[in-house]
Amino acid sequence: MKQHYIPRCYLKRFSDNDKCIYAYDKQHSKKYQASLMSVCVEDDMYSISNDYLEKNKVENGGKINRLSIEKDHFATMVEPMFSQLLKTIDEIKNEWISNKEYYRLNFYEKREIALHIVTQYFRLPQLQEATVDDYLRMEKASIDMVKHIMSIQTGNEAFNNLQIGVECEKPVLHANLTYLNDEVLMDFADAIANNYWVFWVSLGQDFYTSDFPLVVELHVDNVRPTYMGLSQYGSELTYPLSPSIVLSVFDRHYFYNKASLDCSFIIANAKDVRRQNMLRYFYATHHVFSYKKDFSLIDFIYEAEKKKHIFMAPNLKSEGDIDVYLYTLLNEI
């Protein structure tokens, strides 16, 4: 079953008809109009196996089913709230641009949005794989340590040769470690909300989004990652909220001079738009999306790279290279 890791309520904001979206396929260098049902999906990403449900029937009292994560959590609770928050941001943006009112979000409003930002980050397939792999690796290491201790205490080397596997229900494990873990969610959200936020506005609805929309750009080298990179010293987290709005979250310690700009809406110039769109293109694994069906920036980079696409991994260690490449391209276009 195909399940969205980026919700349709978000993707619809980049569609001109609520059914399809203009997509650039990096893997095949093609542009086309794609159904919202066919992009940013994975097979059974949240589906709980029947075996797991049967084994845990007593513990959960029969209250969960195969689609509980997708339907009961995301579709019923998370996504309607997220959709309403995005509409509220649209309204505030319109008041700023029309010079009617300059409302700035307070900390609690920022944290509410940050909870959805973190949730979206955890929903990405790359994060699911990394989270589950890390957990299983630690479990295996713990088992190996116990076997080693037992072999020493008993003088029996056979303990070291015991084959003990580690099993897990991947969707459930991932959910419990991340987006269903209230303590983790709130910790991450507090860190993001404590930083300085700037909403960039494109009057021409020119901002892209992608299948990996959240990008962290580091402006300082050799910094220990915190909060999976979403909030660390020298970081700038960017996230398109619509073709008209991109949110930048600046680390408050390194970007202390942006305090006066916190939660303001600033009209983006052409270079600002190109920079944001480049980041979306660099980190996209398969698709980049444009409300206006304008992928000329990608065409330019593709030709400049001798008909090769750039694929950057999230939380790349050598983030400084991105700054150099961005600066070079921005001044060539």
Per-residue pLDDT reduced to its tens digit, 240-271? 999 999 999 999 999 999 999 999 999 999 99
pLDDT at 140: 72
CA contacts within 13 A on the Cβ side of 287: 21
Ramachandran category for residue 307: left, alpha or beta (phi over 0 → left; psi -120 to 50 → alpha)? left
Burial 119-149 (b: 16+ CB within 10 A, else e): bbbbbbeebbeebbeebeeeeeeeeeeebee
State residue 153's pLDDT score.
77
Query: What is the SS3 assignment for 291?
Result: coil
Residue 20 pairs with which residues in a beta bridge? 35
Taking residue 267's Cβ as centre, other Cβ atoms within 10 Å add up to: 11
Determine the Cα–Cα distance for residues 111 and 165; give it in Å rounded to an integer. 40
* 113 pLDDT above the threshold of 70: yes
| Rounded distance between C-alpha atoms, residue 13 and residue 20, angstroms | 11
Percent of the chain with pLDDT over 90: 69
Lowest mean pLDDT among 7-16, 23-32, 137-146, 315-324: 315-324
Question: Can you tell me whether residue 90 is helix, strand or coil?
Answer: helix
